[in-house]
Amino acid sequence: GRPHHPLVVEAGAVAVPGGDAARQDALNGASIDVLEDLRGQCPPMGLETLKIDDFQLHASTMRRYGLGAHRGRLNIQAGLYDDDLYDGAWCAGRNDPLQWLEVDARRLTKFTGVITQGRSSLWSSDWVTSYKVLVSNDSHTWVTLKNGSQDLIFIGNKEKEIPVLNMFPVAVVARYIRVNPRSWFNRGSICMRVEILGCPIRNEITTTDNLDFKHHSYKEMRHLMKVVNEKCPNITRIYNIGKSHSGQKLYAIEISDNPGEHERGEPEFRYTAGSHGNEVLGRELLLLLMQFMCQEYLSGSPRIRHLVHETRIHLLPSVNPDGYDKALEVGSELSGWSLGRWSQDGVDIHHNFPDLNSILWEAETKKWIPRKMLNHHVPIPEWYQSKNSTVAAETRALVSWMEKIPFVLGGNLQGGELVVTFPYDRTRSQGVSREQTPTPDDHVFRWLAFSYASTHRLMTDARRRVCHTEDFAKEDGTINGASWHTAAGSMNDFSYLHTNCFELSMYVGCDKFPHERELAEEWENNRESLLVFMEQVHRGIKGIVWDMQGRGIANAIIQVEGIGHDIRTAADGDYWRLLNPGEYSITVRAEGYSASSKVCEVGYDIGATRCDFTVSRTNLSRIKEIMERYNKQPIRQPLRLPVRQLQARRPGPRHRRVRTS
């Protein structure tokens, strides 16, 4: 019958009340690492990352279900309207000092602080300006955190979006924690989004990979890439594709068995991350991936060795290092939803590409294809290339990189959700914000998206709760970009319409900027997906287009019957065409050569089907070549003679000759 009081941990010491044998046993069973952890600060428990599930969140009252305790998670985003089922905070059913939001840690936990936000809403202004914190071990007897003999009153928010961190003057160990609002915005209501800082009193092993699980500054990122290069010099090369607005180089690492050289028949693959500087999980995943591939290659992993020997892989971990620096300066949990998202000059890099969709769709409407315009390699408008256009330095570097290397498949890692999106990202119908807008390669894109989502540990798990408002698990963790939210000028659409590369976006975690201690678990969530998606570059057909002398033909057009999107051969005449299993009629066309067709079959096993072509010159192109060789021009105009000369040559009417006797 004696109540369980929470354990108070003073700074630099571990205090255990002598009368509680159960808690003493719990601490006696803890490792030295855990006891050391008790003296430091703790990471977020996982309200934002969904590590804390809905059943661990409780509240005194709620205004309605869409504003229940399960919505009181840091950085959770609301739907468009205030009466949505998925709203942007926990909101109490009454405005009085008796309300509370409770988290059940389900085990003894060291609590060290609270982060709060107001309600995410386009229409309402609700936030808590001060609050108390209470802890308990049985959810019946509660102890308020005190400053001496007085209850501690923590200062809350001054507006609804910027997170506010309050660290406890002393840490407490308990199972339950409550936040009790004491005052709120005078023209609003009691509404909160919360994260709790806490360490469970036990060790948690989340991965066996010996990797550098930490957030890396720009300097640390460069150093880590150099370490990987020095450890695996025969299969890696570091280069940069350009500079950011503030002059920081955009570093990439190439992983292949012959770095620096495009090998005929070997497809090029890319991962990019960090176009939104505050979405840092993708950046760290690519840094972990390059370490992992180096280690596994050296240890003789057949899977990694095959991937490296058969693929030229490019990893660009930080597209927007300027934005990342802004988010890093504030730190995990306190950067909010958007700080550092844009480039230094305020541009959303991921949506800063030219809108080629409109150009293609207008040409299709006017029936210009293929007579006046092709259905692929849509040219960039002149206005976009001018110095006065609003194009970020980072975007220009990406465009140049994408044009220079014949990429076949790419993925850009984003954050804040758990879903894979595929083109098109813009709706075709004007004035429509959401609409299925498939590409001619929709079946291929759906497979590529599913290959990542289905091998992720959480994306397709129907039991997981939604990150914010959309239940993507019902759609197998994938969605057409335009049916989620339309966006002109996306990297995905540009890549598909201007180059040969099929590009998708992977939203790899609910939390854009997870705490360092979450990185090992996030790596486990994404590791297999990152590898499986890379392997898809070897699905479909590949080959070389030769002339009769055995030379590769560049810019030959590869057409697949029934699919209204063509690709072109690279400089050496080689090509790769992503396709799902089946039989396809393939036609090759090249200027000055006769067209050639054949049927190619794609199997279910990974490994592209070889489908080469040898084409001959047309008679007209041969004549032109011969005449150019001897500095003669072909006669373009018919020979014209004077009128009198023509009349003299013109035969008169034929008369039958009459014989006379």
pLDDT digit string (tens) for 518-551? Answer: 999 999 999 999 999 999 999 999 999 999 999 9
Fold: same for 54-200 and 541-630: no
Average pLDDT of 609-625? 87
Structure tokens given for 229: 């290069």
Residue with tokens 């998708």: 504
SS (H, E, C) 322-340: HHHHHHHHHCCCCCCCCCC
Residue 148's pLDDT is what?
85
pLDDT at 417: 95
> Token pair for residue 202?
């036990």
- Model pLDDT for residues 89-145, shown as the tens digit of each residue: 999 999 999 999 999 998 889 999 999 999 999 889 999 999 999 999 888 889 999
Tokens 């150093």: give the residue.
223
660/449: higher pLDDT: 449
Based on C-alpha coordinates, what's the Rg of the chain?
Answer: 32
Q: What pLDDT sits at residue 203? A: 53
* 3-class DSSP state of 8: strand
**pLDDT for position 39:** 40
Give residue 206's pLDDT: 62
pLDDT band at 626 (very low <50, low <70, confident <90, very high): confident
Q: What residue type is assigned to position 630 of the chain?
A: Y
Placement of tokens 């607005």 in the chain = 245
Note whether 206 and 132 are within 8 A (CB).
no
Nearest CA to 513 out of 277, 195, 344 is that of: 277
pLDDT of residue 593 exceeding 50: yes
* Res 6: pLDDT: 53
In the predicted structure, residue 1 carries a pLDDT above the cut 50? no
- What contacts 274, CB < 8 A, 6 or more positions away? 280, 282, 283, 317, 318, 319, 320, 321, 323, 324, 413
Quick one: average pLDDT of 77-81? 81
Residues 355-383 have a mean pLDDT of 95
Locate 177 and state its tokens: 């924690």
450-503: per-residue pLDDT in tens?
999 999 999 998 888 889 888 898 888 999 999 998 888 999 999 999 999 999
What is the average pLDDT value for the chain, to the nearest integer?
Answer: 88
Averaged over 290-300, what is the pLDDT?
96
- The C-alpha atoms of residue 189 and residue 606 are separated, in whole angstroms, by 57
What is the pLDDT at residue 342? 94
> How confident is the model at residue 462, as a pLDDT?
81
The per-residue pLDDT for 634 is: 52
What pLDDT was estimated at residue 508? Answer: 96
Q: Is residue 658 predicted with pLDDT exceeding 50? A: no
- Weakest mean pLDDT among 29-33, 115-119, 231-235: 29-33
**CATH among 2.60.120.260, 3.30.160.60, 1.10.3720.10, 1.50.10.20 for 54-200:** 2.60.120.260
CA dihedral (633, 637, 642, 645) positive or negative: positive
CA dihedral of 213, 214, 218, 223, whole degrees rounded to 10 = -50
Strands of 502-509's sheet, edge to edge? Answer: 236-243, 249-255, 312-316, 268-273, 407-414, 502-509, 417-422, 478-480
Per-residue pLDDT tens for 379-393? Answer: 999 999 998 899 999
DSSP reduced 3-state for 58: strand
Q: Give the residue-averaged pLDDT of 623-646.
A: 60
Residue 648 has pLDDT above 70, yes or no: no
Token pair of 84 as six digits: 């949505």
Give the pLDDT score at 83: 66
* Count of beta carbons in the 10 Å neighbourhood of residue 60: 19
Angle 181-336-526 (CA atoms, 0-180°, nearest 5)? Answer: 115
pLDDT band, residue 22 (cuts 50/70/90):
very low
Contacts 24+ apart (CB under 8 A), 60-68: 60/92, 60/93, 60/98, 60/99, 60/100, 60/101, 61/92, 61/93, 61/94, 61/99, 62/90, 62/91, 62/92, 62/93, 63/91, 63/92, 63/93, 63/189, 67/91, 67/191
Rounded Cα gap, residues 46 and 53, in angstroms: 9
Q: Which residue has the tokens 């950067």?
A: 335
Question: Which pLDDT score is estimated for 34?
Answer: 34
Q: Is 304's pLDDT higher than 70? A: yes
What is the domain partition of the chain in residue ranges? 54-200, 218-373+401-537, 541-630
Q: Report the pLDDT value the prediction gives residue 562, as an integer from 0 to 100.
A: 96
Q: How confident is the model at residue 169 (pLDDT cuts 50, 70, 90)?
A: very high
Phi first, then psi, for residue 544 (nearest 5°) are: -130, 140
| 656 HSE (CA, 13 A, CB side) | 3
Assign 84 a pLDDT band (cuts: 50, 70, 90): low
C-alpha separations of 421 from 199, 442, 503, 517 in Å = 35, 12, 9, 27
Q: What percent of the chain has pLDDT above 70? A: 88
What are 403-450's pLDDT values in tens digits? 999 999 999 999 999 999 999 999 999 888 899 999 999 999 999 999
Q: In angstroms, rounded to a whole number, what is the distance separating the alpha carbons of residues 654 and 189? A: 109
CA distance 276 to 281: 11
Q: Give residue 377's pLDDT band: very low, low, confident or very high (50, 70, 90).
A: very high
User: Residue 127: its pLDDT value, please?
Assistant: 97
Which architecture, in CATH terms, is 541-630? Sandwich (2.60)
Which residues pair with residue 9 across a beta bridge?
Answer: 171
Q: Could you tell me if 191 and 87 are in contact, meaning their C-beta atoms sit under 8 angstroms apart?
A: no
- DSSP code string of 458-502: STT-TTSPPSSS--GGGGTTEEEHHHH---TT-HHHHHHHHSS-E
pLDDT at position 661 is 40
Both tokens of residue 628? 């150019």
- Averaged pLDDT for residues 74-81: 86
Q: Nearest 5°: phi and psi at 548?
A: -70, -15
**pLDDT tens, 244-273?**
999 999 999 999 999 998 988 899 999 999
Q: Is the pLDDT of residue 653 over 70?
A: no
Q: Is the omega angle on the peptide bond into residue 424 within 30 degrees of 0, that is, cis?
A: yes
Q: State whether the Cα torsion 346-404-241-539 is positive or negative.
A: positive
What proportion of the chain, given as a percentage, has pLDDT over 90? 73
Confidence band of 632 (pLDDT split at 50, 70, 90): low
CATH topology (fold) of 218-373+401-537:
Aminopeptidase (3.40.630)
Helix, strand and coil percent figures for the chain, each rounded to 5: 25, 25, 50
CA distance linking residue 207 with residue 32, whole number of Å: 20
Distance of alpha carbon 41 from alpha carbon 110, whole angstroms? 9
**CB-based burial label for 513 (10 Å; 0-12, 13-18, 19+):** buried
Token readout for 469 is 């408002």
Q: What mean pLDDT is predicted for residues 396-407?
A: 97
59: which strand partners? 101
Q: CB burial class (10 A; 0-12, 13-18, 19+) of residue 197? A: buried
